[in-house]
Copies of this chain bind each other. A is one copy, B any other.
Amino acid sequence: MAKELKNLTKRSENYSQWYNELVVKADLAEQSAVRGCMVIKPYGYAIWEKMQRQLDDMFKLTGVQNAYFPLLIPKSFLSREAEHVEGFAKECAVVTHHRLMNDPDGKGVVVDPEARLEEELIIRPTSETIIWNTYKNWVSSWRDLPVLCNQWCNVMRWEMRTRLFLRTAEFLWQEGHTAHATRDEAEQRAIQMLNVYADFAEKYMALPVIKGIKTANERFAGALETYTIEAMMQDGKALQSGTSHFLGQNFAKAFDVKYINKENTLDYVWATSWGVSTRLIGALIMTHSDDNGLVLPPHLAPIQVVIVPVYKTDDQLQAINTVVNPIVANLQALGVTVKYDNADNKRPGFKFADYELKGVPVRLVLGARDIENGTVEVMRRDTLEKHEAPLQGIEQYVKNLLEDIQQGIYDKALRQREAMTYRVDTWDEFKAQIEKGGFLLAHWDGTTETEERIKEETKATIRCIPLDAPDEQGRCIYTGRPSSRRVIFARNY
């Protein structure tokens, strides 16, 4: 492992390759035998479990309940909502048969041609259609509203180019689908969930995000408004980290979901949907990690603290064990996830490199001399700084240090984003700057045509119109037409 670590490509050499190698070397995920589908390994899955637990608690505090809807969607459902089918129905996995049979040649199995389905079924790329078809039976009166459901599940989109976590054919996510009596309530819910995502990103992932609105061109297929949180990776590219959609009455109309309102008249229900996925693990890696491996925020690290003993004799190990065991118990009592790695089959140097690679936020090293002196060597993974600390009170010291690290990597990511955010006012500046990466705050004339031309010429897309963008008169960077606020352009993942 220590040797493999040395082989990790440096970010400055090839950021993309650094990422691909790190995901595999840190035991987070790997390619599977099925094109574009990944295996999420235990260490990677442990991060996802921490994300899930936290998000799930946050959703439930807003009144959301979990449920489960079918994996398969009848093909005809996809064409019910006209825009939705354009955006989603194309590259997907299609189930056409329901039986295999022994190959008449005696070799393995073949599809039984007799077992063709009457209507093909699609593996869900997202579940608006099947869920709104279900809500039709759940909602008839204003008393049945709101419906606030979420599901944690797998989805599939037949992507041509895939990268672990960032873009895979199958991925894990949550998708919330809410139904409301009024337009206002639905819009508020869409914004509420965007705020949940932003809070989660900032407080748990240590990921500064910009909240904004997508342009019509970048909107979810079938939505009236798509809200987004956008983050900047270390290479200056943007990563869309979560979206929340105000769907208006589009799906209610497509699936005929009406309710009797308080005025005793029939009306269509208002909708939102919102989701985040295992893509967030990609964002986590690309924002904080370095040439030595992962840097994980303490609030999501599967192991927050590792303790490694350094010893020559069994007696020395015994003495260290005696000191460490109560520290482990005390840390656990403080809610800290700690691993005491006194396994005999690996050298300390190997362990150090491995836990660095895996991004464990704090490492404590204890030797025989430390026991005598009542000290311990503390290393924080984010800065790689080592220092000595007294054993006395080490538990609270470590707990505080974890919070410092959490804040530290957030601040660092924020500084990085600010340093790479540019106000750009001429097209020449724009073209020059976009090559160097970063967020470009620029005026835009509000038309899809201009947006698409800029994308063709520079590969930059409008990431969002920030919710807090101040009014500012200016002229479109491309056409010179008038504009009343700046939007964020960037290249993106």
Give A96 to B46 CA distance when docked, in angstroms: 33
Task: Say whether A75 faces chain B, with CB atoms less than 8 Å apart.
Answer: yes
Given A34-B73, A45-B66, A45-B67, A94:B93 Cβ within 8 A? no
Task: Say whether A239 faces chain B, with CB atoms less than 8 Å apart.
Answer: no
Closest to A93 in B: B95
Interface residue SS majority, chain A: mixed
Check if A96 sits within 8 Å of B99, measured CB to CB: no
Task: Say whether A469 faces chain B, with CB atoms less than 8 Å apart.
Answer: no
Given A98-B91, A100-B78, A121-B34, A154:B153 Cβ within 8 A? yes
Give A30 to B94 CA distance when docked, in angstroms: 24
Check if A41 sits within 8 Å of B70, measured CB to CB: no
Check if B69 sits within 8 Å of A39, measured CB to CB: yes
Closest to A41 in B: B67
- Across-interface contacts of A111 in B (CB, < 8 A): 75, 94, 96, 120
Check if A97 sits within 8 Å of B98, measured CB to CB: no
Check if A70 sits within 8 Å of B100, measured CB to CB: no
Check if A109 sits within 8 Å of B89, measured CB to CB: yes
Question: How many subunits of this chain does the assembly comprise?
Answer: 2
Interface size on A, residues (CB 8 A): 64
Task: Say whether A77 faces chain B, with CB atoms less than 8 Å apart.
Answer: yes
Check if B100 sits within 8 Å of A90, measured CB to CB: yes
Task: Say whether A101 faces chain B, with CB atoms less than 8 Å apart.
Answer: yes
* B-contact 0/1 string along A50-61, CB 8 Å cutoff: 000000000000
Check if B100 sits within 8 Å of A93, measured CB to CB: no
Task: Say whether A170 faces chain B, with CB atoms less than 8 Å apart.
Answer: yes
Task: Say whether A418 faces chain B, with CB atoms less than 8 Å apart.
Answer: no
Check if A33 sits within 8 Å of B98, measured CB to CB: no
Given A34-B70, A96-B94, A109:B85 Cβ within 8 A? yes
- Across-interface contacts of A41 in B (CB, < 8 A): 67
Give A313 to B41 CA distance when docked, in angstroms: 59
Contact segment of A130-138, A368-376, A447-455: A130-138
**A33 in complex: contacting residue of B37, B79, B130, CB < 8 Å:** B130
Task: Say whether A32 faces chain B, with CB atoms less than 8 Å apart.
Answer: yes
Given A34-B70, A34-B72, A45-B67, A158:B99 Cβ within 8 A? yes
Told that A33-B133, A72-B170, A96-B111 touch, could you supply 14 new A-B pairs with CB distance under 8 A?
Answer: A34-B121, A34-B130, A39-B68, A39-B69, A39-B70, A45-B66, A45-B67, A45-B68, A49-B66, A78-B109, A89-B100, A93-B98, A100-B122, A143-B345
